[in-house]
Amino acid sequence: MKLDELNAFLENNKEVEWAEDDAGNLYLRHSRFDKPNEKIKIEPDALSKLTPEKLEQILIGGRNVDQITRITGYFSRISGWNKGKRGELSDRSRSGDIK
């Protein structure tokens, strides 16, 4: 990937935040999927071997999946839940989990 391809990729992906250090290493994070302290480091020689498609796969990599659950007879998208509700879901035991 050349610098102009990287610039085009970043311009078209507003959810990707990035920074560069003095050594030329890039640090990328996807604001939707990564926590604030999670970053992907890409060294300058590795960048030359990347394609825009491969970089997108590294950043998103199957994480763009919406989970649903069935509670009391209806389906609900978890992506619309607040932090507390998601915490309740992770605390629930499923029938296959009980020993």
Considering the domain boundaries, does residue 99 fall inside one? no
Q: Tally the domains of the chain.
A: 2
CA distances in angstroms from 6 to 20, 23, 52, listed in the order given: 13, 17, 7
80 and 56 part of one domain: no
Q: Which phi-psi region, left, alpha or beta, contains residue 73 (left: φ > 0; alpha: ψ -120 to 50)?
A: left
CA distances in angstroms from 13 to 7, 9, 45, 93, listed in the order given: 10, 6, 22, 37
51 and 82 part of one domain: no
Contact, 12 vs 22, CB < 8 A? no
pLDDT tens digits, 21-73: 998 898 999 888 888 888 889 898 888 888 888 888 888 877 767 777 777 77
Considering the domain boundaries, does residue 12 fall inside one? yes
* Domain enclosing residue 35, as ranges: 3-60
The residue with tokens 């610098």 is 3
- pTM of the shown model: 0.56
27 and 70 part of one domain: no
Considering the domain boundaries, does residue 52 fall inside one? yes
73 and 49 part of one domain: no
